[in-house]
Structure 1
Amino acid sequence: MRIAAWNVNSLKVRLPHLLRWLQDQEKKQQAIDAVCLQELKLTDDKYPHKELEAAGYLSLAAGQKTYNGVAIIVRKAALAPIATDVNTTFLKPVRNMPNFEDEQQRILAATIPFTGMQPIRLVSAYFPNGQSPDSEKFVYKLNWLTSLQTWLASELEQNPRLALLGDFNIAPADEDVHDPKAWEGQNLVSPPERNAFQSLVGLGLHDSFRMFEQAPKTYSWWDYRMMGFRRNAGLRIDHILLSDALKEKCSASIVDKEPRAWEQPSDHAPVIAQIKKS
């Protein structure tokens, strides 16, 4: 089975891209069984449940006007027979961290009963950007990250088969940055942010992408400005972290750059991890 994360940077704008991508993957016999979305930028009442269900997917969403918003989308054909609707598909849902009061919609978690395997706890996360290390938004980001670590520790105790997927807004190492010298000390790559990433790893989570040999200069985000994608001037800030139990089952992890080359794309590309059922 395959799980993915994608910051779509407005689901209203990018819904055709999402549907096209999901259909393309199925045609390639590489169907995405669950995708965690970030930056929906729409409220719950505007979420396209009907369009996605018509395409064969059930959704759980936590929306917000103009900013943020996360969702978990699951392919109906991948679900166990008991999962026939939203209430039996998305088990024990959590919207935002209970230990961090926040109006911004950045966390959505649910346990999914996939067919032929034990259920998996999926966490769709949109980490704060932080703006710059000398800003109040950066302080918010670090506080958010501290709360995330505490909450995830509890989640892992209850759910050993857990995957944290999303836009982390952190490039964990220099190899994840197109020009480390130019970015040194800046937001997304600063020592406090990278330390926070390592704290998540310290909980017993694993960066699925780095579990495998990868082509150098592989990124998941490219700025719209100054031909960032054409120059491959990117950062790897979208990640899938897997618990110990899922790490043992992971057979591949990639960045799919193809949708980034489409007309009017998101500035992020989907990231994918493949999990063995056996």
Structure 2
Amino acid sequence: MKIATFNVNGVNGRLPVLLQWLSEAVPDVVCLQELKAAPEAFPEGPIRDAGYEAVWHGQKRWNGVAILARGAAPIETRRALPGDRGDTHSRYIEAAVGGILIGCLYAPNGNPVPGPKFDAKLRWFERLTAHAADLLTQGIPAALVGDYNVIPTDRDVYKPERWQDDALFQPEVREAFHTLVTQGWIDALRSLHPDEPIYTFWDYQRNGYARNAGLRIDHLLLSPTLAHRLIAADVERKVRGWSKTSDHAPVWIELADAPSRRTQPHKPSPSRGKGHGRARR
């Protein structure tokens, strides 16, 4: 099974890019973020024509998340994190696909720092961490997938010194991500590529993509019951270079159909390097 995440930065405006990528990459499950579309404006028809059924949680102009599944209908189980009944932002949706529980998320940006938006980001991560712990307690094969708006380490950003004042790189945010992972979740991309610089976002400004000046803020976390099926993970960096594309590139993992001691990780591709850019969300 191939699972991918892609912050499309406007699902209708980037629909040709999304459809082209789906036809070339043929992922089995896709988590989309930053739809920027009201629920009734989600392009269900073109996506179905491409071979995918979908569940989505839209919001006009901002946020928005969706889960696509190839040749099967995702079974929605949740469309908001527990812990805040007043949360009206479309930042989380969850569905069962092929025996795996997929949580698609779009974390708050949190800028400026300090301030109420940063405080809200930390509270949102507390809710995510509590829900993630509950999933692990249940022993469910699960993946928490999406745009976390967190740069976990120095090697996940071009020129870390430029990001000291940004919410994505604050010690409290990095610690929140670390706390989540150390519950037992596996950072899939890092587990197969532990040392190399890997980026998933390049700003439109300052020629970020051409300079490979990027960030790694899109992550796929796997539960222990799923992690031993991981055989490959990579970034579709070329998609960021397409015309009228998102400022993110798709990130994907491949899981074996069944656990196997003989399964070996694929060799990483040589397509990554260094970079820097400021997230707009």
- Superposed displacement of residue 91, structure 1: 2.8
Deviations 1:183-237 (A, max 9, x none): 2242211100000001111221110011113673320011111101111111100
- Provide the C-alpha distance between the structure 2 equivalents of 1:151 and 1:19, rounded to a whole number of angstroms: 32
Pairing of 1:165-180 with structure 2 (within 5 A) = 165-180=145-160
Corresponding residue for residue 218 of structure 2: 238
Deviations 1:41-68 (A, max 9, x none): 0011111111111111000000000000
Say whether the 8 Å CA contact 2:2–2:255 is kept in structure 1. yes
- Provide the C-alpha distance between the structure 1 equivalents of 2:57 and 2:135, rounded to a whole number of angstroms: 19
Corresponding residue for residue 144 of structure 1: 124
Q: Secondary structure at the match of 1:93?
A: strand
Q: Secondary structure at the match of 2:199?
A: coil
Report the residue type matching 1:181 in the other structure: E
* Residue 213 (str. 1) matches residue 193 (str. 2): yes
Q: Which runs of 4+ in 1 moved over 6 A?
A: none
Which of 60, 67, 72 matches 1:65?
Answer: 60
Q: Secondary structure at the match of 2:13?
A: helix
Corresponding residue for residue 6 of structure 1: 6
- Provide the C-alpha distance between the structure 2 equivalents of 1:173 and 1:110, rounded to a whole number of angstroms: 30
Say whether the 8 Å CA contact 1:207–1:239 is kept in structure 2. yes
Q: Identity percentage over the alignment?
A: 40
Pairing of 1:22-61 with structure 2 (within 5 A) = 22-25=22-25, 31-61=26-56
* Residue 94 (str. 1) matches residue 78 (str. 2): yes
Say whether the 8 Å CA contact 1:160–1:244 is kept in structure 2. no
* Residue 199 (str. 1) matches residue 206 (str. 2): no
Q: Secondary structure at the match of 1:188?
A: helix
- Provide the C-alpha distance between the structure 2 equivalents of 1:200 and 1:261, rounded to a whole number of angstroms: 32
Q: Secondary structure at the match of 1:12?
A: coil
Say whether the 8 Å CA contact 1:121–1:159 is kept in structure 2. no
- Superposed displacement of residue 154, structure 1: 1.5
Change in 2 beyond 3 A, CA 1:215/1:197 = closer
- Provide the C-alpha distance between the structure 2 equivalents of 1:68 and 1:190, rounded to a whole number of angstroms: 22
Say whether the 8 Å CA contact 2:30–2:69 is kept in structure 1. yes
* Residue 103 (str. 1) matches residue 88 (str. 2): yes
Q: Secondary structure at the match of 1:245?
A: helix
- Provide the C-alpha distance between the structure 2 equivalents of 1:18 and 1:199, rounded to a whole number of angstroms: 33
Say whether the 8 Å CA contact 2:240–2:248 is kept in structure 1. yes
* Residue 164 (str. 1) matches residue 144 (str. 2): yes
Corresponding residue for residue 186 of structure 1: 166
* Residue 266 (str. 1) matches residue 261 (str. 2): no
- Superposed displacement of residue 92, structure 1: 4.8
Corresponding residue for residue 153 of structure 1: 133
- Superposed displacement of residue 23, structure 1: 0.4
> Which shifted more, 53-62 or 95-104?
95-104
Corresponding residue for residue 113 of structure 2: 133
Q: How many residues align?
A: 257
TM-score (norm 2): 0.88
Deviations 1:116-151 (A, max 9, x none): xxx000000000000132121000000110111112
- Provide the C-alpha distance between the structure 2 equivalents of 1:226 and 1:213, rounded to a whole number of angstroms: 27
Q: Secondary structure at the match of 1:11?
A: coil
- Provide the C-alpha distance between the structure 2 equivalents of 1:150 and 1:216, rounded to a whole number of angstroms: 31
- Superposed displacement of residue 171, structure 1: 0.7
Say whether the 8 Å CA contact 2:34–2:65 is kept in structure 1. yes
Say whether the 8 Å CA contact 1:100–1:144 is kept in structure 2. no
Which ranges of structure 1 fall in alignment gaps of 5 or more residues? 26-30, 80-88
Change in 2 beyond 3 A, CA 1:24/1:61 = same
